[in-house]
Chains A and B, each alone.
Chain A
């Protein structure tokens, strides 16, 4: 696992209060990790802050799973 994935996982675990092993590649924030729409906005803002990147709204909409987030952030850095 990359350093990026670890940092993303840490944010997800902290924010959603889920077990670390639940945060798998295909875990959907909303369907599997119990996030609501406000949580997803907060997650995106936390990712932006942690990685110093900007995630536009249309890109944010495509980030559905943990894997999506890691992929987007890795490419954006």
Chain B
């Protein structure tokens, strides 16, 4: 089950907690992985740790020229691009009334715009190969909203609509497009929460704990696998029951 031998996967935000776990899971299933991110050192460390079949592909996703080039670089490095995981995300939290245009634009550009541009770049090869997997990392807040995160929630909800539309366009070519919506997961992004904030959040999580990056990675691995070929346009919520959608 879930054998990705011979497949090549590009993971954005691979220097982060979720991204590195996703890259490890895909690599562990036999895939060649392209590790993209802005921080080169953690990417190199991860690549060294993974050993063979790992390539470092630094990219600043707010740089459109670099974004356009990334799928080509991935294909040059790995030979093909069969699986794209749009994981990279940034937050610029603040209450809506005080939110600056740049706070909005940056979050939409990196979290949503980059996913569109990378998908566009990856699709040509997938169409020709008649096989492809695009997995977009959304978020629970895209479905429920969250005060202070109007920009982030809008981008993450946008990824769901984007995934569904693209899924319908390319399903006939053996390409699936799905989203994974993590709840509260132990990463650098949630480390900034104070203990009382975490306690309050966990009160709403039936599982009674935060999720682990590996638990998101497993969902991505499933959606990237040949076995999930009939699953497309779906959002897989991995949130400990926090929102049962």
Chain B contact patch, size range: under 10
Taking CB as reference atom, which chain B residue is nearest A15?
B128
CA distance A36 to B172 in the complex (A): 10
CA distance A36 to B127 in the complex (A): 13
Taking CB as reference atom, which chain B residue is nearest A49?
B124
CA distance A11 to B173 in the complex (A): 18
B124 to A38, Cβ gap below 8 A? Answer: no
**Contact residues in A for B172 (Cβ distance below 8 Å):** 36, 38
Taking CB as reference atom, which chain B residue is nearest A42?
B127
Q: Please report which residues of chain B, range 172-204, place their CB below 8 angstroms from some CB of chain A when the two chains form the complex.
A: 172-173
Number of interface residues of A (CB under 8 A): 4
Query: DSSP class of A's interface residues: helix, strand, loop or mixed?
Result: helix
Indicate whether B169 reaches chain A with its CB closer than 8 angstroms.
yes
**Contact residues in B for A42 (Cβ distance below 8 Å):** 127
CA distance A38 to B127 in the complex (A): 9
Indicate whether A45 reaches chain B with its CB closer than 8 angstroms.
yes
For B36-76 the 0/1 string (1 means CB < 8 A from A) is 00000000000000000000000000000000000000000
CA distance A68 to B169 in the complex (A): 25
For A11-41 the 0/1 string (1 means CB < 8 A from B) is 0000000000000000000000000101000
Taking CB as reference atom, which chain B residue is nearest A36?
B172
Query: DSSP class of B's interface residues: helix, strand, loop or mixed?
Result: helix
For B124-149 the 0/1 string (1 means CB < 8 A from A) is 10010000000000000000000000
CA distance A45 to B170 in the complex (A): 16
B124 to A45, Cβ gap below 8 A? Answer: yes
Q: Please report which residues of chain B, range 203-228, place their CB below 8 angstroms from some CB of chain A when the two chains form the complex.
A: none
- Distance (whole angstroms) from the CB of A29 to the closest CB of chain B: 16
For A32-66 the 0/1 string (1 means CB < 8 A from B) is 00001010001001000000000000000000000
**Contact residues in B for A36 (Cβ distance below 8 Å):** 172
CA distance A36 to B169 in the complex (A): 11
- Distance (whole angstroms) from the CB of B101 to the closest CB of chain A: 30
Taking CB as reference atom, which chain A residue is nearest B124?
A45
**Contact residues in A for B169 (Cβ distance below 8 Å):** 38
CA distance A38 to B126 in the complex (A): 13
CA distance A42 to B124 in the complex (A): 8
- Distance (whole angstroms) from the CB of A32 to the closest CB of chain B: 20
- Distance (whole angstroms) from the CB of B46 to the closest CB of chain A: 34
- Distance (whole angstroms) from the CB of A57 to the closest CB of chain B: 15
- Distance (whole angstroms) from the CB of A17 to the closest CB of chain B: 11
8 contacts between A and B (CB under 8 A): A36-B172, A38-B127, A38-B169, A38-B170, A38-B172, A38-B173, A42-B127, A45-B124
